[in-house]
Chains A and B, each alone.
Chain A
Amino acid sequence: MIRALDIYITSMKNSFAARMAYRADFFFCCIMIFISELLFPLLTMLIYSTGGTFPGWNLAEVMVLQGVFMLSKGAANLLFFGVVYNTLSRVREGTYDLLMIKPVSTLYISVASGFEPDSIGTVLGGLLVIAYSLGKLSQPNAMQWLRFALIFFLSVLVMFAFAVLMAATVFKWVGNSRIYEIFDNITAFGNYPRSIFSKSFQNIISFIIPVGIIAFYPASALLGKDISGILPSICICVIFLLGSLALWKFMLSRYTSAGG
């Protein structure tokens, strides 16, 4: 465990050092990411300013939900989502071999060496949106914060499962550069309260692809809303995570490397 932490921290330091070699680009990327991530909250403000609403949610509550979504996505991008691009480029170039000759789990080393400092902009954006919106609502109590923390952990786990699932597919579908877009389109539904979708679609994002757990449930817990339907979603989360890890193992065994 100490060694695993040592590897992750050393890799994190190296990623920061490598990124700092191009400081102007780093700051520019952080700002651009921050601005682009504010698109959903701004759209929501536009909808509410024209008289539209999401049933059962006021503007500040929806903003909290979207802030939680940004925070979860930002944390995922910062901590482990680099595994997708890392695997994608290394498999295509044949340099994944270099990770396979290291005496640690290939998934772990792929995750650790995929730390992406640029995503700090998304994390800061998420925190800012949550703080600003909570300022307009009654403050959550300690129990609400605790529930939020636990469910937010699950949210990050779902993001991790998505990352592993996508990274696993690139062993077979080498050069699948559209994979991020597929992910963005699927998870974009997590930016809105479940109540705006039809019952059948709510079931899909709760029990098939657990998008609801990314932001809807953590935000609901923080706002003191009803989360009684969360238990099946948690089970799906765990299955989703185990399924993605099994797929990773299977796809890794089919890795063929690249020419001599």
Chain B
Amino acid sequence: MGIININELKKVYTTYERGSSFLDTVKSLFVRKPIDIEALKGITLNIEEGELLGFLGPNGAGKSTTLKILTGVLYPTSGKVDVMGYTPWKQRKAYVSRIGAVFGQKSQLIWDIPPLDSFEMNRAIYGIPSQDYRRRLDEMTQMLSLENIIRKPTRQLSLGERMKCEFIMAMLHAPRIVFLDEPTIGLDVIAKEKIRDFILEQNKRGVTFILTTHDLGDVEQLARRVVVVNYGEIVFDDTVDSLRKLSGIKKRVELATKKELPDLSGMPGVQLTGRTSPCHAELELDMEQLELNMFLQNINQNYVISDLTMSDPPIESVIKELYTQKERQPVTL
């Protein structure tokens, strides 16, 4: 039994077809055709306490719907959810005092006043004793280097500074689980690094994180386990390393030769991905169709290899493949 247990979770939305032409718009004033959208088709998932889970999927896959149900914002159509012994949408008030959330595109800070005043609001809402509040605030502002920032009006802060303040907002009440929805969106590398370090530090202290992001750097540097949803279903659930191994049958090769290379894309199992000069090519090789040693031997004999770099395809290409496969069966390794 994990800290989060989801069983056969389904959510169906009813929306209305409105059309795009002027005639459709006029018609929609009188008659609207309802459409049922199956956002979640029966998700089953268990998450252990202290995990840092990457929850991925393309836009409209069902990630945010799952997060909204897990944070008690939405009622599901059917299925069971048990988080720390609570059913989020039934015991909302008691439950949400034990969770935190950071939404990269929805701010909890009040725009015209300093973040410190917004933190004060959360102190009152969560009923945090003054001593604990002071201690946690000092500790987090130090960790995130925000000591001189939190007294400036929010509107004068950079995006990175605001996002760091969002983390303080979400964690002042010491939640056991924190939901992160695209927490590093639009941030520069320095701010991303600081926030990632903060998440890792909090995770070491036992906080469970559910991370939704389109930034695969977040996933590679933070998550140990990855769940990919698509079309309302889980299509991958395993470690980040296993996700990388999905691409094991392909290799990226960067070749430099002494003689001019021909167009190699005609060869079976070879895909040309880049060409900067006649003697230089970037290729993706499919090992199922091609013997690597035979290929290299052939190239060396005919064109003389002067330099060679080999690597696994980046995690992006694996994720892209998972995202573009329609109605596929769950991937197991």
Shortest CB-to-CB span from B294 to chain A, Å, is 47
B108 at the interface (CB under 8 A from A): yes
Identify which of A98-106, A120-128, A131-139 touches chain B: A98-106
A103 near B94: Cβ-Cβ < 8 Å: yes
Identify which of A13-21, A29-37, A207-215 touches chain B: A13-21
Report how far A17 CA is from B101 CA in the complex, Å.
25
Residue of B nearest to A98 (CB): B108
| Residues of chain A in range 205-260 having any CB-CB distance to chain B below 8 Å | 253, 255-257, 259-260
Report how far A177 CA is from B333 CA in the complex, Å.
54
Residue of B nearest to A2 (CB): B127
B106 near A100: Cβ-Cβ < 8 Å: no
A52 at the interface (CB under 8 A from B): no
Shortest CB-to-CB span from B106 to chain A, Å, is 5
A3 at the interface (CB under 8 A from B): yes
Report the count of interface residues on B (CB-CB < 8 A). 35
B74 near A256: Cβ-Cβ < 8 Å: yes
A100 near B72: Cβ-Cβ < 8 Å: yes
B103 near A253: Cβ-Cβ < 8 Å: no
B125 near A103: Cβ-Cβ < 8 Å: yes
Q: Which of B64, B73, B99, B125 contacts A109 (CB 8 A)?
A: B125
Residue of A nearest to B59 (CB): A260
| Residues of chain A in range 1-46 having any CB-CB distance to chain B below 8 Å | 3, 6-7, 9-11, 13-14, 17-18, 21-22
Q: Which of B71, B112, B117 contacts A97 (CB 8 A)?
A: B71
B153 at the interface (CB under 8 A from A): yes
A97 near B103: Cβ-Cβ < 8 Å: yes
| Residues of chain B in range 130-169 having any CB-CB distance to chain A below 8 Å | 153
B241 at the interface (CB under 8 A from A): no
A257 near B117: Cβ-Cβ < 8 Å: no
A58 at the interface (CB under 8 A from B): no
CB-defined A-B contacts under 8 Å, sample of 12: A7-B121, A10-B124, A11-B124, A14-B120, A21-B112, A21-B153, A95-B106, A98-B106, A100-B71, A100-B72, A101-B73, A104-B93
B contacts, CB < 8 Å to A:
13, 59-60, 63-64, 68, 71-75, 92-94, 96-97, 99, 101, 103, 106, 108, 110-113, 117-118, 120-121, 123-127, 153
A contacts, CB < 8 Å to B:
3, 6-7, 9-11, 13-14, 17-18, 21-22, 94-95, 97-98, 100-105, 109, 253, 255-257, 259-260
**Other A-B pairs, 11, CB within 8 Å; known A14-B113, A101-B73:** A10-B121, A11-B124, A17-B112, A100-B73, A101-B99, A102-B125, A103-B125, A103-B126, A257-B68, A257-B73, A259-B64
